[in-house]
Amino acid sequence: QQPVQSPQAVILREGEDAVINCSSSKALYSVHWYRQKHGEAPIFLMILLKGGEQKGHDKISASFNEKKQQSSLYLTASQLSYSGTYFCGTANSGGSNYKLTFGKGTLLTVNP
């Protein structure tokens, strides 16, 4: 039931690109992406909704394949501030679409 994230960790140099994937075994209503730095609250990045609508940051893009129940987060021209753990939270279709189930996270490290 927990979505699967890949990769588990990635190391980049500043300016490089990265893709983080999130895959669910259930039909999804929405996918929520967060970034969390050590000891801090998860920070909202994006929501991708069934039907194609997206809400979130201008500089971060993502995709949502409803049929495959998969989402990908694209980080381009990475900055040092992008470092942190990225979590996807999935809301299942149906009556309990308020409930987010989170993956185990992807640790992103951006080096100078």
Residues 4-33 that bind another protein (CB under 8 A): 29-30, 32
Binding window for another protein (CB under 8 A); candidates: 11-19, 38-46, 60-68, 76-84? 38-46
Q: CB 8 → another protein: shortest distance, Å?
A: 10
Tokens (6 digits) for 45:
């990045």
Collapsing DSSP to helix, strand or coil, 37 comes out as coil
Instruction: Kindly tell me which residue out of 49, 60, 66, 83 binds another protein, with binding defined by CB under 8 A.
Output: 49
Site membership for another protein, residue 69 (CB under 8 A): no
Alpha carbons 73 and 88: distance in angstroms, whole number: 9
Contact assessment for residue 5 and residue 26, using Cβ atoms and an 8 Å cutoff: no
Note the helical H segments in 1-112. Answer: none
Site membership for another protein, residue 44 (CB under 8 A): yes
Site membership for another protein, residue 58 (CB under 8 A): no
In the complex, the residues that contact another protein under the rule CB under 8 A are: 2, 29-30, 32, 34, 40-44, 47, 49, 55-56, 87, 89, 91, 96-105
